[in-house]
Chain A
Amino acid sequence: MRGVLRQLWVCYRIQLKVISSDWFDGVLAVFFPLMFATAALLVYRVNGDPAAMQYVGLGAAIMGMWTCQGVIASSLLSRERWAGTLELVVATPVSMTRVLVPTTLALSTVGLYCVVATYLWERWVFGLELQVLSWPLFVVAVLLTALTLATFGFFLSVTAVRYRVSWSLGAALEYPGWLLCGFVVPLAILPAWTHPLSWAIPTTWGMAAVRDAASGASPWSNLALCAAVGIGYAAVAAWLGKVLVESARRHASLSLR
């Protein structure tokens, strides 16, 4: 067990280095979430409603994390394909879980940075001071949201073992996710048929827990649901990792670019 934890930790640190060492990607990681937050805040500021600004201010902070994980995670293995490293990592004796989880955790770490950057941007540029009544619970909610987004990213990324074009799934999820997770509009105003889709995403519950913690309500039930859905994705992704590697070996899709 100690060996596994060590492997996950070292691979996490190395993958964080891979993700954060590119200047261009770094600039995009800074500016994209800030631009999204700016657009959302400018729209909501028109009404001059402080409650609405608080709502969108919190949502915009988590939105950057969603974009970071959702889009990049699903293209992770495609990047490995292009780099020629996918076959090499599959040829190692560890499962795809132990290859991918450190990487998606590294992405979530960048996502946490997006939350902090967006919070500071809202404060300094828009003069919006988010009201957070329980900072410890707020931090717990943000961290659990990041952790479960990593498991969701693991689920998205593992499909690329078998299907080359699955990276587009993440890109396609980015904007619907803004609505489905309740970042910028309450779920209640969405059509009822979309609610199951929202409930199936751990970030929906994470976002609700973040709002609960900020408003002083108890976030524990939402946190529990967030954790449960996140664990569900991790379990399905671990199973898919085995099944899809076998399928890729059968269909000779590992070496395809």
Chain B
Amino acid sequence: MEATDLRRTFRRSSGLLRRTHQEVEAVRGVSFHLDKGELFGLLGPNGAGKTTTIKMLITLLLPTAGSATVAGFDVVRDPREVRRRIGYVFGGDRGLYERLNARDNLRYFGELYGVAPAVQRRRIPELLEMVGLTGREKEKVEGYSRGMRQRLHIARGLLHDPEVVFLDEPSIGIDPVGARELRETVARLVAVGKTVLLTTHYMFEADELCDRIAVIRSGEIVAEGTPAQLKQAVSGGRVLEVETYGAPESVVEGIRGLAGVRSVAVDDRGQQQVLLVQCEPGAQLTQPVLALLGDVRVGRVALREPTLEDAYIELVTSP
């Protein structure tokens, strides 16, 4: 799969008598490639352009400019060939026929994907087993939990044995046990040779699963590499983590201005704020930061190695 300088602009109109038009560039020249059998992660904050990029690749949106091929076919010129070879799974409650049971949902999409009846008879029970819905397949989907729906989504996306699977935030809203099962399922997909493009907000998920990751911000890819490369490249230094209670914004700004500080992120946890200070290699920042905090109540202070989440936060928050 290859995307070359993909761009997508949306046009918004407002006003009844005097129509005003506004153009929003959701994706601004995104390029990447995936090798066969690779699990590639696309990370970015809400509105960064992840879903728009995926929708262009799965032929639901036409790019404004640029080109992309999936499984060897152009997404604009050969949408039908692309659709035959891809599976698309998105997170959330929607996307299923609520009044049907799981088996009928799968049969319906099996027919639309042209899966032969004999193959359906074998594959539907296999997939239900794989996603842990065996025994619940005759229940209407409207009675399913979010985790069960998400697992059924995955079964639907794999029904026609696609070469490439797009997973758009598949673990959103799932409990930790369900999310772990989902990660195991995704890992199994790669083990059987599927090419997977995954978007997620959960860094540990991307760190655990992805061979390579691209971080997208404001419609542009700002970093790409293996999880280890991203951690290394972005934060050659370490991360100073300081628990504070009531740190004012002016102090946070002051810390940002210290020599040796790459970026500062504030994680609000009720009354407590955790300052995540990304340090330049070799910078000794613990004392200067504590000095700036002055009378602000401080809890735990720790200096640690950067995680993928630190790298991500730095990438998406740095100016």
List chain A positions with a Cβ less than 8 A from chain B: 3, 6-7, 10-11, 14, 17-18, 21-22, 83-85, 87-94, 98-99, 246, 249-252, 254-255
B114 interface contact, C-beta 8 A: yes
- Closest A residue to B64 by CB, please name it: A250
- Once A85-B96, A90-B60 are accepted as A-B contacts, the answer to whether A10 and B111 lie under 8 Å apart by CB is yes
In the bound complex, CA of A75 to CA of B199 (Å): 32
- Tell me whether B112 and A92 are in contact (CB under 8 A): yes
Of A89, A91, A98, A252, which is within 8 A of B10 by CB? Answer: A252
Contact of A87 among B60, B99, B140 (CB under 8 A): B60
Q: Given A84-B92, A91-B60, are A11 and B99 neighbors across the interface (CB < 8 Å)? A: no
Residues 91-114 of B at the A interface (beta carbon under 8 Å):
92-100, 104, 107-109, 111-114
Q: In the complex, what residue of chain A is closest to B82 when comparing beta carbons?
A: A93
Number of A-B contacts (CB under 8 A): 83
- When chains A and B are docked, how far (Å) is the Cα of A88 from the Cα of B58? 10
Q: Are B60 and A254 in contact (CB under 8 A)?
A: yes
CB distance from B99 to the nearest CB of A (A): 5
Q: Could you tell me if B99 and A22 are in contact, using CB atoms closer than 8 angstroms? A: yes
- A249 touching B113 by the CB < 8 A rule? no
Count of chain B residues near A, Cβ 8 A:
34
Chain B positions within 8 Å of A7 at CB level: 111-112, 114
CB-nearest residue of chain B relative to A7?
B111
Cβ–Cβ contact A91 & B83, under 8 A: yes
Instruction: Tell me whether A17 and B95 are in contact (CB under 8 A).
Output: no
Query: Could you tell me if A83 and B94 are in contact, using CB atoms closer than 8 angstroms?
Result: yes
* Nearest B residue to A14, CB-CB: B108
Can you give 14 contacting A-B residue pairs, CB < 8 Å?
A11-B112, A18-B97, A18-B99, A21-B99, A83-B97, A84-B92, A84-B94, A87-B60, A88-B109, A93-B84, A93-B113, A93-B114, A250-B62, A254-B61
Cβ proximity bits B139-181 to A, threshold 8 Å, 1 near / 0 not: 0100000000000000010000000000000000000000000
Give which listed residue, A17, A83, A249, contacts B59 with CB less than 8 A.
A249
Instruction: Specify which of A83, A85, A93 lies most central, judged by the most chain B CB atoms within 10 Å of its CB.
Output: A93
The answer to whether A91 and B88 touch across the interface, beta carbons within 8 angstroms, is: yes
Closest Cβ of chain B: how far from A91's Cβ, in Å?
A: 6
The 5 A-B pairs of least Cβ separation, nearest first, read: A84-B94, A92-B112, A84-B95, A93-B83, A7-B111
Chain B residues with CB below 8 A from A93, complex form: 80-81, 83-84, 112-114
Other than the given A7-B111, A91-B58, 5 more pairs (CB < 8 A) read A83-B98, A91-B60, A93-B81, A94-B114, A249-B60
Nearest CB of A to B88, in Å: 6
